[in-house]
Each structure stands twice: as structure tokens, then as C-alpha cells.
Amino acid sequence: MKPAFLIYCNIYPAIEELSYEEKGKLFDSIFLYSMEKETVEMTGETKMAFNFIKQSLDLDTSKYESIVERNRINGKKGGRPKNQENPVGYLETQDNPEEPKKANINKNNNIKDILLSKDNNSGVDNSTSDSVKEVYDFYVSNTGSKEKLSPTRKKKIQVRLKEFGIEDCKNAILGAINDSFMSGDNDRGWKADIDYIFRNYEKTEKCIQLLNKTKNGKPESDDPLFRASIEATQKRSI
């Protein structure tokens, strides 16, 4: 087992919008995977980000194992080569190092785009915005919101469309706006906006459940435990 692993800074744009809980699961899974143990359960963007990072971990591990094997073979031959022109044991004399090349990341081809294009079997075409605009227009028509369809919101909706489909995305909107607690009937006057509804897999799923699910004859959001969990989430986001 490799005693350490590297995490590259250029992956941060792909995970910066994850919640602290999602980042915790991701970081835990990186450790567990590197120790050859079973990772924690992940969904949505967290799982896609992990699969992307895992490729980097596998590549580094492969390089590490190659070096270990080469050193093992050299050890059997008597250790470090006696050739003074190559005293460190490289396969060949190394040239002077060149300036490191910058990662090939630009506005049209960044890590987030790579992650969003990983799954091509979901029925959502990343090159078009028809389905995203339909969901966004549905939200605006039901709430009167003037929030713009920013690139970040578009990508969030794209991911949720892959996971739930267009009808359930609309159901999530209806679940949130028709629920009294989600619509502002709470101590803070907080309302669930489009960013909250599609923030991650769990939030969207919860809003869908609110549409029809009842608990003891009441909407689930009337449950004190549910209300407390929502309020705690909002306090952390401030």
C-alpha cells in the first residue's frame, strides 16, 4: 500500500461548490481508497468528483509501484549503480529540468465541464439548454423570481436533470413552493430558492418528497426534527 497520496490544486474548481458535508465525504473516500478500503456512499457531483480524482490517484500509484519495482531489481543487483555519470540510479542520465507546464485548463474546457460530461447516458445534452431553460422558466412562472439563469445555476440544474429527470425537477420546485415552511413560514423568514432546491441530490430529493409525502397526517416539514435540520442548514450557510 502506498504510504501517501497527492491532491492537486487544479481539482478545487470542481469541488468548491460542494457543501462541507459533501467535501467531508469526498476527503474521507480519498483516504479510504488510498488505503485500499471501501469508500463511503456518495451521490451526484460528489461521486463524479471522486471518480475524477481517483484517476489521478491511480496514475500516481502506478508510477510509485514502478519506482518500487525498479529499486527492488536494482537492490538484487547490488544497489546503486557504480556508474558515476548516473549515481542516483535513474534508467538514464537526466536532462536539466524544464519549466513546469501549466495545466491545460481554460474557460471552454475546465474541470467542471469534464465532470459534467462524464455521464453521456442520462439523456441530457450538455451542449443545449432546452431542458434547463424549461425547468428554470417553470420555477420563475411559479415564484415570480427575478433570479438570472447564471452558468452556475445552469450546471446545477443540468446535474439534477441527469439524476431525476425533468418531471421530478419540476416536482421538486412544486414541493418547495407549496410547503409553508419552505415558503417562509419559519422564524427566520427563510424561503427555499432555486439554489437551495438544486444544491445537491439530497436537497432535490427532499423537495420532491414534500410534494406528496405526509407524516402522521401532516406535511413532513411540520415535523420538528425536519424543521430543526433545515434551520441548522441555513445557519451554517450564513
pLDDT tens by residue, 33-85: 888 788 888 888 888 888 878 888 888 888 877 888 888 887 777 665 555 55
- For the whole model, what pTM was predicted? 0.42
208: which DSSP letter?
H
Residue 86 above 60 pLDDT? Answer: no
Amino acid 42: pLDDT: 86
d(C-alpha 15, C-alpha 112), whole Å: 8
Dist CA 148 CA 236 (whole Å)? 24
Rounded distance between C-alpha atoms, residue 162 and residue 43, angstroms: 12
Is 176 within 8 Å of 210 (Cβ atoms)?
Answer: yes
DSSP state of 41: P
Q: Kindly provide the b/e burial profile for residues 187-219, where b requires at least 16 CB atoms within 10 angstroms of the residue's own CB.
A: eeebbbbbebbbbbbebbbbbbbbbeeeeeeeb
How far is CA 137 from its chain centroid?
25
Report the distance separating Cα 108 and Cα 122, nearest Å: 22
Let me know: does 29 contact 40? Beta carbons within 8 Å: yes
pLDDT 10s digits, 99-130? 666 655 554 455 555 555 544 444 444 444 79
The predicted-structure confidence for 178-229, as pLDDT tens digits, reads as follows 888 888 888 888 899 999 999 999 999 999 998 866 444 455 555 554 555 5
What does the angle CA 109 – CA 115 – CA 116 come to, to the nearest 5 degrees? 85
